[in-house]
């Protein structure tokens, strides 16, 4: 048996209870404003949606994570946050965490009026 087998089988182990976690997996989408983003992230300044996958204890915690992580990397939530329970793409860790963060800029109606 190869040493990479546990990593490859984490979804099965999670599904059948061999891998335990107090967290659930969510995907969040938040409307907001991009400012100066930290290195490693790119999006023009202005209106954008931020998407993020995350392991969190609840949908409320996932929503809080969207705001806190967004703020930490240069994104301010100004509108609605949508949280969905989804299939994970990465295994859980010992703590709540966000990953696969991306941005999609959009032109807001307010910007078009000015």
Residues 71-91: tens digit of each pLDDT: 999 999 999 999 999 999 999
Q: Does residue 11 lie in a domain region?
A: no
Q: Does residue 54 lie in a domain region?
A: yes
Q: Does residue 14 lie in a domain region?
A: no
Sheet containing 75-85, strands listed edge to edge, beginning at the edge strand earlier in sequence: 75-85, 24-34, 46-56, 97-105
pLDDT band at 29 (very low <50, low <70, confident <90, very high): very high
| Cβ atoms 67, 77 nearer than 8 A | yes
**Which domain does 70 fall in, by range?**
22-113
| Cβ atoms 26, 62 nearer than 8 A | yes
Write the pLDDT tens digit of every residue in 35-71: 999 999 999 999 999 999 999 999 999 999 999 999 9
Q: Does residue 39 lie in a domain region?
A: yes
Q: Does residue 9 lie in a domain region?
A: no
Q: Which residue has the tokens 């991009």?
A: 34
Q: What is the number of structural domains in the chain? A: 1
Q: By CB neighbour count within 10 A (0-12 exposed, 13-18 middle, 19+ buried), where does 32 fall?
A: buried
The predicted pLDDT at position 111 comes to 54
| Confidence (pTM) | 0.85
Alpha-carbon span 57 to 44, nearest angstrom: 32
């Amino acid at each position: 048996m190869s040493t990479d087998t546990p990593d490859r089988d984490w979804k099965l182990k999670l599904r059948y209870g061999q891998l335990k976690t107090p967290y659930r997996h969510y995907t969040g989408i938040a409307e907001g404003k991009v400012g100066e983003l930290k290195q490693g992230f790119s999006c023009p300044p202005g209106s954008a949606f931020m998407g993020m996958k995350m392991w969190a204890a609840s949908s409320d915690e996932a929503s809080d994570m969207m705001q806190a992580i967004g703020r930490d990397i240069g994104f301010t939530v100004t509108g609605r946050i949508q949280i969905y329970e989804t299939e994970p793409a990465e295994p859980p860790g010992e703590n709540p965490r966000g990953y696969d963060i991306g941005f999609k800029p959009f032109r807001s109606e307010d910007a078009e009026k000015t």
